[in-house]
A and B are shown apart, each in its own frame.
Chain A
Amino acid sequence: MLTEIQALLEFIYIVVAGIFAGLLGAMTGLGGGTVLVPVLTIFFQIPLIFAIGASLISTIATSAGSASAYTKQKIANVKIGIGLEMSTTAGAIVGTLTLAYFNGHDLLWAIYVLFGVVLLFSLIPSVKKTLAELPPPTEGDWTTRIFQLHGSYYDQRMKKTVEYNGVRWWAGEIVMFFAGFISGLLGIGSGALKVLGMDWAMNLPMKVTTTTSNFMIGITAATGSSIYWHLGYIQPFIAAATAIGVLIGAFLGAKLLIRITNSNIRWLFFSILSFLGVEMILEGLKADSLVSIPSVVMILISMSASVLVIVLLFIYVRKLRKDIIRRTRSEEQ
């Protein structure tokens, strides 16, 4: 039995975990949920299903909080966002029902492993995002015209209005279905996948992509959360603490992000995330008794694996940066 003081301390600890998750999520652009689920399960030993439920519902708070600023600045494209939400909401429904199936058949270890893998792969578009490059301008295709994918926004850093044409709407919809599926399955915003859909598939500028994805995350998470509610995946005490924590964290993160001029500090956050990703994979394998390793060894494995991941990502970004510089030079000539 918990005393009142113990209960209060427990609440405060979860709020602090939420602040950490929100902060890290905002700094890396991955959102609070991606950090919250590993933290709650690995450090607090909270049942995975409750961690996922609390995470998804907290994601709505951060999405709404930051999207309110971006939509006002007219950077986020609400029209493109709503069009793509047809797929993300459908994907979220399928994802949530898949989670329910896994939960009912003692397959939750697979969710741990999948979570770790998704987290590690999400790092690729996230580090790429730090380069914030404009996509090569296109004339548009038939979907640009039919689905009105033309838009513009004022870029404050470049001090000019950027015009853009979205293309391959259908490819965007396909990627978005998977983004929604992952969101419902793992209780995260899956912003990284949404960014992939709009940046890679639809050729939208990174600023439009990230802000629109932020706005969309809330709608996808609302779909998943309402099913989670009926399935009993939301524990009010945990969800209350995480919603408060993640919101504070995301708010502080957004403020800090403007002040941090040295982008290298982000690598520290990326390394924490990759550590959490590897930990989740090992946790899943351990839960299914596929491997039995002592916790200390597990932490050592996660640390060395995350160092490897970070080195690989760093090399990838350096190559990307060189390519951009080369392309800009040849354009100038």
Chain B
Amino acid sequence: MKSFDQEGVTSLILKSGVVVSLFLILFGTILIFTVRHADHLTLSQIADIYSTTIINSSQIGLGDLLSGSLSLDGIYLISLGLWVLIFTPISVVFVGLIDFELQKNYRYVIMSLIVLFNLFFAMLVIG
């Protein structure tokens, strides 16, 4: 039975996902405070935590995450960091899927696929 160190790989992915996302979030935050504006908003608008309309995630298009981050926009860097965080546990399910496939454990292959379906349904269809 072919297999690999699933627990080791999972642990590594989880750890590196958190580190990368934290780095992006920190970098984005520092940029917002030094440049004092991001995504056409001033620092005081971004920091307005009481208004639900000035800035919220529905205004940040996922398609612009990469280009916004590359142009060193703080809001997009933070958003990219948050999405890396969201994808971190998802990639663990992928690793599980590969491991179950290698072990020919088809019952669990199907179950992993159902979990991934739910995740992408939430991400793409409902979104």
Q: Which 3 A-B pairs have the closest CB atoms?
A: A232-B58, A218-B89, A230-B127
Residue of B11, B12, B21 touching A61 (CB-CB under 8 A): B21
B-side contacts of A46, CB under 8 Å: 49-50
A sample of 24 cross-chain residue pairs with beta-carbon separation below 8 angstroms, ordered by A number, consists of A2-B43, A10-B49, A11-B33, A44-B49, A53-B57, A61-B18, A65-B15, A71-B11, A72-B7, A72-B11, A78-B6, A82-B112, A86-B111, A89-B122, A93-B121, A93-B126, A146-B107, A221-B89, A226-B86, A229-B127, A230-B57, A233-B56, A236-B28, A247-B22
Q: Is the CB of A83 within 8 A of B111?
A: yes
A147 on the interface (CB 8 Å rule)? yes
A64 on the interface (CB 8 Å rule)? yes
How far is it, in angstroms, between the C-alpha of A93 and the C-alpha of B119 when the chains are bound? 9
A-side contacts of B127, CB under 8 Å: 226-227, 229-230
The secondary structure that dominates the B interface is helix
Q: Is the CB of B89 within 8 A of A219?
A: yes
- Distance in Å: Cβ of B98 to nearest Cβ of chain A: 12
Q: Is the CB of B108 within 8 A of A83?
A: yes
Residue of B18, B78, B118 touching A223 (CB-CB under 8 A): B118
Using A10-B49, A223-B119, A227-B122 as known contacts, say yes or no to A236 and B57 having CB atoms under 8 A apart: yes
> Which of B8, B82, B90 is packed against the most chain A CB atoms within 10 Å?
B82
A39 on the interface (CB 8 Å rule)? no
Q: From A219, which residue of chain B is reached at the shortest CB distance?
A: B89
Q: Is the CB of B88 within 8 A of A64?
A: yes
- Distance in Å: Cβ of A166 to nearest Cβ of chain B: 14
Q: From B17, which residue of chain A is reached at the shortest CB distance?
A: A64
Interface residues of A in 223-242 (CB under 8 A from B): 223-241
- Distance in Å: Cβ of B10 to nearest Cβ of chain A: 5
How far is it, in angstroms, between the C-alpha of A233 and the C-alpha of B53 when the chains are bound? 10
A-side contacts of B93, CB under 8 Å: 82, 85, 219
Q: Is the CB of A93 within 8 A of B14?
A: no
Q: Is the CB of B82 within 8 A of A236?
A: yes
Q: Is the CB of A7 within 8 A of B26?
A: no
A3 on the interface (CB 8 Å rule)? yes
B residues contacting A by CB (< 8 A) are 6-8, 10-12, 14-15, 17-18, 21-22, 25-26, 28-29, 32-33, 36, 43-44, 46-50, 52, 55-60, 62, 75, 78-79, 81-82, 85-90, 92-93, 96, 100, 105, 107-108, 111-112, 114-115, 118-119, 121-123, 126-127
B-side contacts of A109, CB under 8 Å: none
A313 on the interface (CB 8 Å rule)? no
How far is it, in angstroms, between the C-alpha of A233 and the C-alpha of B52 when the chains are bound? 8
Q: Is the CB of A234 within 8 A of B82?
A: yes
A-side contacts of B114, CB under 8 Å: 86
A63 on the interface (CB 8 Å rule)? yes
The secondary structure that dominates the A interface is helix
Task: Tell me the count of chain A residues lying within 8 A, CB to CB, of chain B.
Answer: 71
A-side contacts of B43, CB under 8 Å: 2, 4, 7
Q: Is the CB of A232 within 8 A of B49?
A: no
Using A82-B108, A222-B89, A235-B57 as known contacts, say yes or no to A92 and B122 having CB atoms under 8 A apart: yes
How far is it, in angstroms, between the C-alpha of A226 and the C-alpha of B88 when the chains are bound? 13
- Distance in Å: Cβ of A298 to nearest Cβ of chain B: 21
A97 on the interface (CB 8 Å rule)? yes
A-side contacts of B7, CB under 8 Å: 71-72, 74, 78
How far is it, in angstroms, between the C-alpha of A89 and the C-alpha of B15 when the chains are bound? 22
Using A71-B11, A232-B56, A244-B22 as known contacts, say yes or no to A4 and B121 having CB atoms under 8 A apart: no
Q: Is the CB of B55 within 8 A of A236?
A: yes
Q: From B123, which residue of chain A is reached at the shortest CB distance?
A: A226
- Distance in Å: Cβ of B20 to nearest Cβ of chain A: 11
Q: A57-B82, A243-B25 are known contacts; what are 19 more A-B pairs with Cβ within 8 Å? A: A7-B33, A7-B47, A8-B33, A64-B88, A71-B7, A82-B108, A86-B114, A86-B115, A218-B88, A219-B93, A222-B89, A223-B122, A224-B122, A226-B122, A227-B127, A235-B56, A236-B57, A243-B82, A244-B29
How far is it, in angstroms, between the C-alpha of A228 and the C-alpha of B60 when the chains are bound? 12
